[in-house]
Amino acid sequence: MIQRYENLEAVSQAAAELFAARANVAVRDRGRFSVALAGGNTPRRAYELLAQKPLCDSVPWSQVHVFWGDERCVPPVDPRSNYRMAREAFLDRIPLLDSQIHPMRGVGDPDEAALEYERELRQFFADGQPRFDLVLLGMGDNAHTASLFPGLPVLEERTRWVSAVYIVELQMHRLTLTAPAINQAATVAFLVAGADKAQPLKEVLQGPRDPQRLPAQLVQPVDGELLWLVDKTAAARL
């Protein structure tokens, strides 16, 4: 479902409210809330709103578990780190124990870090599927999401939950949830804003299916809801 908003601030408010709403339902029904955070710039404001009144008082933080949808293979203090962005935007300002924060390891061997994260997910999701209550995603202007970039072999992955990838155009290793892992979620919400996303968004949502070129098209929850929270500039060509 596509939800159009006036601007990034409105997208961020809606995303933060969605986070709080899904957290309360998950904790009420299952005693915990698992969320995989998006990286990049778009979600930062939504994270900031979660650390401010009134929303910060509406989330059952003691039962929240925070994961990441992808991570750059850099140290956690590196300005490019998605972990660092989330800590600065909200995690350092809310009452979470370290045991509730599950970062991907950005240093060391990427393949080993991917296997390690997959082990952590398989331990957390003991019933065999990584059914995050909420996965937040962004979308790049080349229609990548998480670190599922066009043309990568990981786009064909059908069994692993976490993979290490090398992004030639960025000259960077990254760790990413795979499409099968993302698609087990109860709710997946894309946050997309800015005119540079208008063309890729139109192609992803209204163009022919071509996930090798448009990896965001791989996100099709098996038994969950898919939301697109977009601002009007990104939605301009829909």
Binding site for ligand 6PG (CB under 6 A): 38-42, 69-70, 82, 138-140, 144-146
Residue 188 host element (H or E)? strand 187-192
**Measured between alpha carbons, how far is 43 from 49 in angstroms, rounded to an integer?**
10
Nearer to ligand 6PG, 22 or 44 (CB): 44
Least Å from the CB of residue 31 to ligand 6PG: 29
3-state DSSP assignment of residue 224: coil
Which stretches does DSSP call E strand in 76-150?
A: 134-137
- Decide whether 180 or 194 has the Cβ nearer to ligand 6PG: 194
Q: Parallel, antiparallel, or unpaired for β 225-231 and 70-72?
A: unpaired
The minimum distance between CB 43 and ligand 6PG, in angstroms, equals: 7
- Shortest distance (Å) from residue 36 CB to ligand 6PG: 10
Contact present, 189 and 36 (Cβ < 8 Å): no
Q: Which of 138/224 has CB closer to ligand 6PG?
A: 138
Measured from the CB atom, the residue of 27 and 86 that comes closer to ligand 6PG is 86
As measured in angstroms, the least distance from the Cβ of 108 to ligand 6PG is 18
Terminal C-alpha separation, the chain: 13
- For residue 54, the minimal CB distance to ligand 6PG (Å) is 25
Which tokens sit at 152?
Answer: 């990568």
CB 235 within 8 A of CB 2: yes
* Nearest residue to ligand 6PG, by Cβ distance, number only: 138
